[in-house]
Structure 1
């Protein structure tokens, strides 16, 4: 059965130490690590804490901003990404999620050149650390501060152009779980996916990304998860939720309900968890 992790962004108000303790208590085998919490706790101590817990790091959030949209120069963003790659390696992370940066007044081709220039340097570090870089596209309504890549097809084309096992796609159901063209081509996507972020949606896409708990929105999350597994996906799923509705939930209930949902969805495929 594929691993389900909980992303630390979901339990925004908890510390890293609380996340680790409560994820384990809830029965999770994986954790999606947020660099901000790791930095607040102390990176070296945090790596040891997670390792001792037995949780597997499915993905590390995040590095990128190579277009300058986050206020750093491209070179500063590359140096930060090198540090993040080494950190992901120390964590044994399945991948490091990459947000390339918004258009930032660049034309598309210039933004793509900046991204490719960064990847040309970073992939050697990724190979040395044995950490995949997973580029995440976003719906255009959410992407301004994060990425100029706003469709799955162009992101896959970029990934394929490198022919590297260390460059992948981060697929997020919140952003593209409604796109029938994407969902119809899951078998073609599966070989390129480094991690699947799970989030449901009721409202239209927006920069605030009001993400609903699994099964409580308009998206057919269960069908998407089953479709990916049926198409041969054996990688990780990571619950990434945010917004006012999530903040109103008790985190312990959210942990339990997300895991129960995932187990019910995959029970016909992989059987119940032991």
Structure 2
């Protein structure tokens, strides 16, 4: 398996963290993205740490929902407190970065919500720098407006710059945007993770991801641009939704990892 392939835990939330990391090893994937709600449970954190001692897989990133208690407008400090704890977990597990779902805006305008996100994040940014952890914010589908505020690649980059952090580029949420190569050229210098999946036209619910190669996303062309523009990080498979469940997460993840691995090899990554 290509060493830059990563698998996101969200595909297999029915498995605890230890067994999920075992699965990554079984199929030859060398990196994994873990989800913080599981790691905040002490038993899962200790299981992950134990698994990492005896497995070849490494943690490439941790996904953390930020101001979801209940949103950016009404958060009273829980977002800052919880992220501070996740930063320490990431450092203990050797994860280089954490990518964030911002939380919904409540009744705030986009600009007000972005400023609120930056304010809540500021103490965490300093703590992350001390622990050697990069903080990232992703672009995400507009259908996630209840939990996130950045729904295009330019908006995510604007939010990252305002907050003084980096980017997680989810290609599933931006592959259809105009002038994508130009936008990627601007975004990739501050990008710590690129996420890969496919979309089948006609799927209108969320999540609605598919195994790379099963849908309409021009994977080879986009990944060639990403590599040509100098991105040197991991490619994270974030797979969830009805198509993944129907095939079976283990089978879908295995097929996706091999497809992505072959494509990265072909492109000379």
Task: Tell me the TM-score normalized by structure 1.
Answer: 0.88
Residue 26 of structure 1 corresponds to: 27
User: Offset at 1:232?
Assistant: 0.6
Residue 133 of structure 1 corresponds to: 135
Report the CA distance shift for 1:155/1:67 in structure 2 as closer, same or farther (over 3 A).
farther
Aligned 1:106-185 pairs, distance under 5 A: 106-140=108-142, 142-161=143-162, 167-185=165-183
Report the CA distance shift for 1:253/1:207 in structure 2 as closer, same or farther (over 3 A).
closer
Counterpart of 2:79 (choices 77, 80, 83) is 77
Residues 234-243 or 205-214, more deviating:
205-214
Q: Distance in 2 between matches of 1:67 and 1:9?
A: 20
Work out whether residues 33 and 236 of structure 2, in 8 Å CA contact, stay in contact via their aligned partners in 1. yes
Report the CA distance shift for 1:160/1:92 in structure 2 as closer, same or farther (over 3 A).
same
Deviation string 1:12-47 (CA, Å, 9 cap, x unpaired) is: 322222211111010110011122333454313322
Residue 263 of structure 1 corresponds to: 261
**Which secondary structure state, in structure 1, belongs to the residue aligned with residue 83 of structure 2?**
helix
Q: Report the aligned-residue RMSD.
A: 2.3
Work out whether residues 2 and 235 of structure 1, in 8 Å CA contact, stay in contact via their aligned partners in 2. no
Counterpart of 1:238 (choices 236, 239, 257) is 236
Work out whether residues 62 and 98 of structure 2, in 8 Å CA contact, stay in contact via their aligned partners in 1. yes
Aligned 1:183-202 pairs, distance under 5 A: 183-202=181-200
Q: Which runs of 5+ in 1 are unaligned?
A: none
Work out whether residues 3 and 235 of structure 1, in 8 Å CA contact, stay in contact via their aligned partners in 2. yes
Task: Tell me the TM-score normalized by structure 2.
Answer: 0.90
**Which secondary structure state, in structure 2, belongs to the residue aligned with residue 42 of structure 1?**
helix
Residues 247-256 or 188-197, more deviating:
247-256
Aligned 1:42-121 pairs, distance under 5 A: 42-65=44-67, 68-69=70-71, 73-121=75-123
**Which secondary structure state, in structure 2, belongs to the residue aligned with residue 234 of structure 1?**
coil
Deviation string 1:34-84 (CA, Å, 9 cap, x unpaired) is: 223334543133223224312111110114117842897241111011111
Counterpart of 1:210 (choices 196, 208, 221) is 208
Q: Which runs of 5+ in 2 are unaligned?
A: none
Report the CA distance shift for 1:91/1:143 in structure 2 as closer, same or farther (over 3 A).
same
